[in-house]
Amino acid sequence: MRAIVLLCLLGSAMAEDDSFSWGGPGKNVVDPAENNVCLTDQASCGCCLMQQQIHRMETFFNMTLNQLEKELIKTMTVLNNVRDSRSAFSVALTNEDSLTCFGPFRDDKVIAYKHVFINLGNGYSVDTGIFTAPRSGVYSLALTVYSDAGSPGNSLAACATLQVNGQVVAGPREKNMQDQEDSATIVVALHLLAGDIVAVSLPIGCFLCDNNSHYNTFTGFLLYATD
């Protein structure tokens, strides 16, 4: 009997105190039928009120859980977009044990770098030597060229051009007869549109030499997307 009285007193205090609410914003709404039960059956009054509060607590926690699930979906969407936008490649001319030269040719020729360090996003094609921008954004592009004339006094022509959609952007160039070997490097940041193609071309008369020391490299990566 004491337990029932305590439940009734607890339930009454909770029902009368408007500040105790698990139903979220607004005041508690009490079903008149529940008050009638308390008037006619004091023994079950506390149980009815406790069930009412438990129901409100369940409703509150369910609403909170639904909101958290929505926020989680938004976060996962943003994370997936970030993952999809990752783009980075770094390649070398060859990976042969002995020094092998590429060129010179009678016409300009796109260089197909065959040794891949990384090709995140698969934007670079080993077959064509072309990098296709997967999405619009600012990209960092770096090109290093190296050549060996073979012996002192021979003509050295370490040169290449970095091109975007067939247009020359920059070109490291070292032509002389004083050096047996030499190298040059350029680094640029460019805004590319999705679908733009980037390649390195070997001009007429130029030649590059490389082995597994990877003197000739072509690298690019997305700094940040703009679409």
Phi, psi angles (nearest 5°) of residue 211:
-150, -155
**pLDDT above 70: residue 28:** no
Quick one: pLDDT at residue 78? Answer: 65
- Domain 85-225: which CATH number of 3.40.630.30, 3.50.50.60, 3.40.630.180, 2.60.120.40: 2.60.120.40
Quick one: pLDDT at residue 10? Answer: 45
Smallest CA-to-CA distance from 90 within 138, 19, 140 is with 140
Least confident of 60-64, 124-128, 190-194, 218-222: 60-64
User: Which range in 49-63, 77-91, 185-199 is most confidently predicted, on average pLDDT?
Assistant: 185-199
Confidence of residue 38 (pLDDT cuts 50, 70, 90): low
Q: How far apart are the first and last CA of the chain?
A: 71
Mean pLDDT, the chain, whole residue set: 81
135 neighbors 124 (Cβ within 8 angstroms): no
Quick one: pLDDT at residue 1? Answer: 45
Quick one: pLDDT at residue 16? Answer: 47
The vertex-212 CA angle with 211 and 213, nearest 5°, equals: 90
32 versus 102: the higher-pLDDT residue is: 102
DSSP per position, the chain: -HHHHHHHHHHHHHHH-TT--SS-SS-----HHHHHHHHH-GGGHHHHHHHHHHHHHHHHHHHHHHHHHHHHHHHHHHHHHHHHT--EEEEES---SS-EEE---SS-EE----EEEEEETS-B-TTT--EE-SSSEEEEEEEEEEEE-SSTTS-EEEE-EEEETTEEEE--EEEESS-SEEEEEEEEEEEE-TT-EEEEEE-TT--EEE-TT--SEEEEEEEEE--
Quick one: pLDDT at residue 46? Answer: 67
- List CB contacts of 147: < 8 A, sequence separation 6 or more: 101, 156, 157, 158, 174, 181, 182, 183, 206, 207, 208, 209
The vertex-95 CA angle with 93 and 98, nearest 5°, equals: 105
In this prediction the pTM is: 0.64
Quick one: pLDDT at residue 85? Answer: 67
37 versus 143: the higher-pLDDT residue is: 143
Quick one: pLDDT at residue 83? Answer: 63
Confidence of residue 84 (pLDDT cuts 50, 70, 90): low
Least confident of 60-69, 75-84, 197-206: 75-84
Query: What are the structural domain ranges in the chain?
Result: 2-83, 85-225
Q: What is the pLDDT of residues 118-160, one digit of tens each?
A: 999 999 999 999 999 999 999 999 999 999 887 776 778 889 9
Please count the residues of the chain.
227
Quick one: pLDDT at residue 196? Answer: 97
How many whole angstroms separate alpha carbon 81 and alpha carbon 71? 16
